[in-house]
Amino acid sequence: VQLVESGGGLVQAGGSLRLSCTASGFTITSNFMAWYRQVPLKQRELVAKISSGGGVTDYADSVKGRFTISRDNGKNTVYLQMNSLKVEDTAVYYCNVPYPSRPWGQGTQVTVSS
């Protein structure tokens, strides 16, 4: 069982990034999926989640209107489109099944410069 996140990088404030998370060893089809982020010395924060069919999504207040979570069950992949990025979005981003979680991947670093 493995989750591999990618797509992070360094971007200026106001810019965009699209993160991807591909699962292996299990199928995401029947699972809610979620994106989280973590900065040093703080707890991991739930950013967005999406229902198994993709019809229901929910976002942290801090990212509403800027981030969009989506999924392609055929590719066993979840995405996070991040627009209008802010410096405070800087973090390592992870994806996982909300409950029960799978082993965490290595995450992908997103750095937003001012």
Taking only the tens place, the pLDDT of each residue in 82-110 is: 999 999 999 999 999 998 899 999 999 99
Q: What is the tens place of the pLDDT at every residue in 7-56?
A: 999 999 999 999 999 999 999 999 999 999 999 999 999 999 999 999 99
Task: Give the model's pLDDT for residue 114.
Answer: 94
Radius of gyration of the chain (CA): 13
CA distances 99 to 11, 31, 49, 50, 82, Å, are: 31, 9, 11, 13, 24
User: In the numeric block, which tokens belong to residue 102?
Assistant: 């799978």
Cis amide bond preceding 98, omega within 30: no
What DSSP letter does each residue of 33-99 carry, written as one string?
EEEEEE-TTS--EEEEEE-TTS--EEE-TTTTTTEEEEEEGGGTEEEEEE-S--GGG-EEEEEE-SS
